[in-house]
Amino acid sequence: MTFDPRDWAGLMRRASASGVRDGDDGDGDEDSDAVGRRARVFGREPASFEECGLPETMVKHLVENVGFASPTAVQARTIPRMLAGRDVLVRAETGSGKTLSYIAPLYSKIGGITPRVTRNEGTRGLVLVPTRELVTQVEDLARRVGRPFHWVVTSSIMGGENRTKEKARLRKGVCLLIATPGRLLDHLRMTESFNVDNLRWLVLDEADRLLDLGFEEDLNAILNEIGRRTEGASICTALLSATLTPGTARLAERMTDPVTVVVEPERDDLEIVGDGDGDGDGDDEGGMDVEGLKRMAKIMAGGDRVRMPEGLNHTAVEVSMKARLPALAGLLAGWMQGSISKAIVFFSSCESVEFHYKTLRWLAAGGKGKVEDDDDSVQGPYEIFRLHGLLSQGERSNVFKNFAKTKTGVLLCTDVGARGLDFIGVGATVQVDPPSDATTYIHRVGRTARLGAAGEAVLFLQPKEREFAEVLTEKGVCFKKGSAAAMLDVLGGTEDASDRDTRAFADAPHLHPASQRMLRRLQAKIASDARYDALAKDAFRAHVRAYAAFPSALKHIFHVKRLHLGHCACAFGLRDAPTLIGASATKAALKRARDRAVADARASKSKARDVRVAKKSKKLARGAIDRRPIGVDDAGAT
C-alpha cells in the first residue's frame, strides 16, 4: 500500500466540515474547573472598571464595544496604581491581561489632561516592546481601547518600516507611541523634530525579552536620553513581564519606590509588595519593606517555580525522529476533528519552519503538483501560515493579520512567535523542537489558555530526551504522557493490525503503517524535486546546528553526539544524512527575497513620488500660463 497525501487532506476537510467551533453553541453551563480557572484569573470577587478608577466613558466603551466585562486580577491591581502615578513592577502569567492593564490608564491619564492635549505638544506616553509583531498587536488594542479619546493621536515605529514616513508622523506629533527599542533610539538621535520633552508615562512590556534580545544597552541609552530631555521630571514607569530576571532587576533600579504586583498561581489573589500605601512603621526611605525586598530577591534570582495559566494541560510525547512528522500531521488532523481549530507549532530554525510549511501544505493540497512558496495559505478549509525572522516586514504583518482572522488554521513559527502575541481562538501549542530553557517553554505555551480559557501544550521529545520533562517538572510543570501511536492512528492503516502489532507501534511509532507510508511518499517526492531536496538538506543542517547550541546546563540531555543523524535525515524526508558542511541556500534565498521586497517597495515609492512631482510641475506650469496677461505669447511678446 502506498501513502496517498489526500488521506490527510481528507481528514482536514471532514474535520472542518463539521463546523467551526466558536464556543457559542454550548448549554451555557461551565464546569467547576472552568469556573475555578476564571476565578483565578479574574479574582474571586473581580472589581469593576469603575472601581479601578477609569472614567465612565472609557468603562462604557470597554464593556459595550471592546468586550471587557470586568478587569482581570492583574488589571484590577495595576490600573489604580498607574492612575495614581505610581511606578509598577508586574509579574503575571501569560494571557492574564497585562496589555490592557497599562493601555487603559495611559489613555485615561493622557486623555484626561485639560485643556486637551494636541499632537504638536509631542509624545506624552511611550510603550516599548521587543518585536514588530508585538508592536502591531499593542497598537491594534490601543486604537480599539482609546476610541473615546480620539484626540490622543496613537502611532508606532519599528524596524523594517519606512523611516521617512515615521519621521513625518513624529514631526506632526504622536501623543501615545508604541515602539521597538532600536528604531526608537535611532529617531531619538536622528530625528530633531521628535519631541519627548513632555513624556510622563513609560512602559517596558515583555522586559525580560527586551533584555534577551540584547537591547539592554539601547534601553539604557533611551532612558538616559529621555531623562536628559525631560529635565528630571517625574515619569510614571511600568515594567511588565511573565518572568522577572536579574536583568529586569537592573532596570527596576531606575524606578521610584515601585509597587510590585505578583500573580501567585497557588493562590486566588495577588501579592503586593512595596506598595507603600499602608500605615506600617517601616522605613519610608527604604522603598519596599524588608520582607518585600527578600521576596523580590528570590523572584529576581529565579528561585520560584515557573508560572503558567492554570487551565493549560501539558503533555509530553516520546517520539523518534523518524515518526516526528507523521505524528505531527496526525495530531493536527485529530485536533481538527475535535474541539481545537487553531494551533501554533514551534521549531528551532527558519529552515525547519520553511520545510514543514511546504510539506504540510503539500499534504493538505492532496500531494498535487508543486506547492508555490509565495502564498501564505492553502486552498481549502484549513489554512497554514509560517512566521520567522527572515520574512520581510510586509510578509510578517500579513501573516499576523491573516492568522488572527482565520477560523481554522495552524501557524508554524520560530521563537519570533513565542512572546506576547495574542491570537484569538488558539487552543493548542506544539513544540516539535524542545525549548532551550524553562523560560522559553513558558512563553511558547503561553500563546494558548489565555484569560482563564483552557488550552493544550504538547512537547515532542526523543526517547533519549525524556529527562528534559523531569527538568521542567522540577520547575512546576505537570506533564501527562502522550501517545505518538494514537496520533498516527488518526491517519489510519491499523484497521487489520493485531494486538501484538498495536503494542509494537506504541513502543516504536516509526513502525506504524501510517508513518511508513507517509515517509516513503515524502522521500520519493523530495528525491524528484531539486528545490525541495535543497530545502530538506538545509533544514537538516539547521536542526543539527540548533541542537549543538543548547546551553551547557542541558548538554547532558541535548548533545549533538547523541543525535542519530540518519534518523534526523529521515525526519526531513532524506534517505541519507547529507554533509553538515555548507551554507544554507534556503536562508540565503529568504534573505534575497526579503531584500528584493524592500528594494521593490522603495522603487515603487520613488516612482510614485516622481509621478506626484511631475503632476505638480505640470499643474504649476498650467497655472503660470493661465495667469499671463491677455495678448502675451509664450515668448513674452505682445
Task: Tell me what pLDDT residue 277 has.
Answer: 45
Reference 400, options 381, 424, 366, 367; nearest CA is 424
Task: Tell me what pLDDT residue 24 has.
Answer: 45
Task: Tell me what pLDDT residue 183 has.
Answer: 94
Is the whole model's pTM more than 0.95, yes or no? no
Residues 152, 248: one domain? yes
Q: Is residue 479 part of a domain?
A: yes
Q: Is residue 214 part of a domain?
A: yes
Alpha-carbon distance of 295 to 141, in angstroms, equals 33
Task: Pinpoint the alpha helices (H) of 43-162.
Answer: 49-52, 56-61, 73-83, 98-111, 132-145
Residue pair 82/54 in contact by the 8 Å Cβ criterion: no
Task: Tell me what pLDDT residue 289 has.
Answer: 44
Residue whose C-alpha cell reads 481545537 in the numeric block: 340
Q: Is residue 446 part of a domain?
A: yes
**H or E stretch at 176:** strand 176-179
Cell of 124: 506624552
Task: Tell me what pLDDT residue 476 has.
Answer: 84
**DSSP string computed for 296-326:** HHHHHTT-SPP---TTEEEEEEE--GGGHHH
Alpha-carbon distance of 243 to 90, in angstroms, equals 9
Alpha-carbon distance of 18 to 214, in angstroms, equals 46
Residues 385, 456: one domain? yes
Residues 266, 348: one domain? no
Q: Is residue 306 part of a domain?
A: no
Residues 562, 609: one domain? no
Number of domains forming the structure of the chain: 3
Task: Tell me what pLDDT residue 629 has.
Answer: 65
Q: Is residue 13 part of a domain?
A: no
Task: Tell me what pLDDT residue 599 has.
Answer: 78
Tell me the CA distances in angstroms from 19 to 12, 407, 408, 456, 543, one per residue in order: 12, 10, 10, 20, 37
Task: Tell me what pLDDT residue 297 has.
Answer: 45
Residue 285 has, within 13 A of its CA and on its CB side, a CA count of 0
Task: Tell me what pLDDT residue 178 has.
Answer: 97
Residues 553, 419: one domain? yes
Q: Is residue 18 part of a domain?
A: no
Residues 607, 559: one domain? no
Reference 311, options 441, 454, 424; nearest CA is 454
Residue pair 109/370 in contact by the 8 Å Cβ criterion: no
- Supply φ then ψ for residue 273, to 5 degrees: -120, 150
Cell of 37: 480557572
Residues 463, 377: one domain? yes
Range of the domain at 515: 313-582
Looking at residue 401, which CATH number applies to its domain? 3.40.50.300
Task: Tell me what pLDDT residue 373 has.
Answer: 53
Cell of 202: 513609560
**Which parts of the chain have pLDDT scores under 70?**
1-47, 242-244, 263-307, 367-382, 420, 451-452, 581-583, 624-638
Alpha-carbon distance of 435 to 418, in angstroms, equals 10
Measured from the Cβ of residue 211, the count of other Cβ atoms closer than 10 Å reads: 20
Task: Tell me what pLDDT residue 258 has.
Answer: 87
Residues 542, 556: one domain? yes
Residues 188-208: pLDDT tens digits? Answer: 999 999 999 999 999 999 888
Final residue before a domain boundary, out of 269, 300, 331: 300
Task: Tell me what pLDDT residue 583 has.
Answer: 65
Residue pair 568/543 in contact by the 8 Å Cβ criterion: yes
Q: Is residue 67 part of a domain?
A: yes
Alpha-carbon distance of 389 to 413, in angstroms, equals 9
Residues 463, 414: one domain? yes
Q: Is residue 291 part of a domain?
A: yes
